[in-house]
Amino acid sequence: MYNEENYLNKEVILQKNMIKKVGVVLRPSTPELKSNFFQLQEVFNSHGIEIYIDSISGAMIEVMGMEFDLLCQQCDILITLGGDGTLISAARRSYKYDIPIFGIYAGTLGFLADVSMDELDEFVSNLACGNYRIDERSVLEARVVNNSKEIQIYAFNDIVFTRPSISSMIHVETLVDNKAFNTYYGDGVIVSTPTGSTAYNLSAGGPVLFPLTKVFTLTPICPHSLTQRPMVLPGEFSIEMKTSDCKALIIIDGQDMHEFEKGDSLHIKLSPKPIRLIHRNEFNYFDVLKEKLGWGD
């Protein structure tokens, strides 16, 4: 019988190292989170854990902060206070430091940020004694290659290969493991991790994937042909994308954008190194799905 907890035993379940220092990142342009930060600081300090804030967040709430890269090097874990977008941004920025991260939501429950301020004291008590789990989430590793340079990209949710203008469609030539696979004609293609399957991928008609699986999806956006359907690929595969059109755009997690020229090529695969998310032991992904998507109502 399927049991989510048994499945998670394949991942890193408990982190027994003592947590001494925690770095905090706040949702940008939200100075009203100042009171939440001081509440968070009080709770962690009461458990003997030091709190530091990144310099951009600190400037927003008029608190002395620490440069982000130094924060990642000095702290044991990262906390984001905001929503899923704040966590995704911090996770990508901290990716090279391999630091575990968890999200506190300021608003409604997220797919990733799943701890509320009301639950914080109980959660920190468990955190301080190692009573939590770490889930390893797949990351997309991509390279944009042309004659003069190569750009390295990492995406937590998705990479979108799309048209530069709403007035035209785009051809996306796709190879899988160096073999011709498909040419998509429409608004573009979404390459999504399991974590990102409930984001743009879901809106475009792609499948919901269990977040700890080692696969990724190719989902066409508004394809010109109804025979173009989403595809789930094993994690060990790699794909290459290019276009015969003059220009295209590559959008990373809905947050960063790169211009793509005719003659460039985009190479995507799952990175061998995951992002590590901290969750309560009782966290259940299917409960979150039911609440966020209204399943069973």
DSSP character string of 200-249: HHHHTTPPP--TTSSEEEEEEES-SSTT---EEEETT-EEEEE-SSSEEE
Q: Which two tokens stand for residue 234?
A: 């094993």
Q: What is the DSSP letter of 75?
A: -
Whole-angstrom distance, CA of residue 258 vs CA of residue 270 = 20
Annotate 113-135 with b (16+ C-beta within 10 A) or e (fewer).
bbbeeeebeebbeebbeeebbbb
Residue with tokens 């996306």: 172
Whole-angstrom distance, CA of residue 131 vs CA of residue 118 = 18
Q: Which two tokens stand for residue 31?
A: 């100075």
Is position 76 annotated as part of the catalytic site?
no
Residue with tokens 């998705």: 158
Strands across the sheet containing 158-162:
231-234, 215-221, 188-192, 158-162, 247-252, 256-261
Q: Which of 54, 84, 114, 187 is catalytic?
A: 84
Q: Which residues touch 170 (CB under 8 Å, ≥6 apart)? A: 161, 162, 163, 185, 186, 187, 188, 243, 245, 248
- Residue 134 pairs with which residues in a beta bridge? 278
Q: State the CB neighbour count (10 A cutoff) for residue 294.
A: 8
- Residue 249 pairs with which residues in a beta bridge? 162, 259
By annotation, the residues acting in catalysis are 84
